[in-house]
């Protein structure tokens, strides 16, 4: 726009997200949360507070700490501790197609009362579903989710050395996705605090 007026729109161009994680983490509340979440780092420890009614049904509400990756990838983290704001409060690792609350995703999480679980939404605006649930486990515990094409596999470990595969599912996602850490209080308006360490990617 200048004194002569406004030009016609330029042609659109495509862009791809970086394929290698950076040292910079992005964070935001996804969906309609009742309290604003927070994120901080001290050394290798991630402290995340998240509200939200749930990561479930056809729309999610939670705190996300993430990076953009492209193609096959994985994320691993140890959940050191989490507050018990609800039996199904969630602290986990997620691969998500978009930051829209109704996006496709796969999450491997731990909860205060229900162990670990692999969960998915296999289409935009679709209802989420559980894939597997392993009761009797509690933080501190290690979690991993691996993407190979549209196949997603979850693993858990008590020590980061001995891993157990807990489930696998197929969810069609774009090559470019958001990969990171999630916290949801499942008690909207209240903040659940969880701490993570040993956070690593492969891509």
Each residue's pLDDT expressed in tens, for the chain with a length of 203 residues:
888 888 888 876 544 444 456 678 999 999 999 999 999 999 999 999 999 999 999 999 999 999 999 999 999 999 999 999 999 999 999 999 999 999 999 999 999 999 999 999 999 999 999 999 999 999 999 999 999 999 999 999 999 999 999 999 999 999 999 999 999 999 999 999 999 999 999 88
Q: Which of 201, 203, 176, 181 is CA-nearest to residue 193?
A: 181
In angstroms, the first-to-last Cα distance of the chain is: 42
Q: Which of 39, 59, 86 is CA-nearest to residue 194?
A: 39
Using alpha carbons only, give the angle 63, 172, 21 rounded to the nearest 5 degrees: 50
Q: If you ran DSSP here, which 8-state letter would residue 178 be given?
A: E
């Amino acid at each position: 726009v200048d004194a002569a007026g406004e030009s016609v729109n330029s042609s659109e161009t495509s862009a791809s997200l970086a394929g290698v994680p950076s040292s910079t983490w992005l964070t935001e509340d996804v969906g309609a949360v009742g309290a604003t979440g927070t994120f901080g780092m001290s050394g290798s420890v991630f402290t995340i507070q998240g509200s939200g009614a749930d990561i479930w049904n056809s729309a999610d509400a939670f705190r996300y700490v993430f990076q953009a990756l492209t193609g096959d990838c994985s994320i691993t983290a140890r959940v050191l501790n989490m507050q018990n704001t609800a039996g199904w409060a969630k602290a986990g690792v997620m691969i998500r197609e978009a930051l829209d609350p109704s996006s496709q995703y796969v999450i491997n999480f731990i909860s205060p009362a229900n162990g670990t679980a692999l969960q998915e939404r296999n289409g935009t605006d679709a209802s989420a579903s559980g894939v597997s649930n392993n009761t009797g486990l509690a933080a501190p515990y290690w979690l991993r989710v691996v993407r190979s094409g549209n196949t997603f596999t979850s693993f858990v470990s008590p020590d980061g050395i001995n891993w157990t595969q807990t489930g696998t599912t197929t969810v069609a996602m774009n090559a470019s996705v958001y990969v990171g850490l999630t916290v949801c209080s499942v008690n909207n308006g209240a903040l659940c605090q969880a701490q993570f360490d040993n956070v690593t990617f492969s891509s």
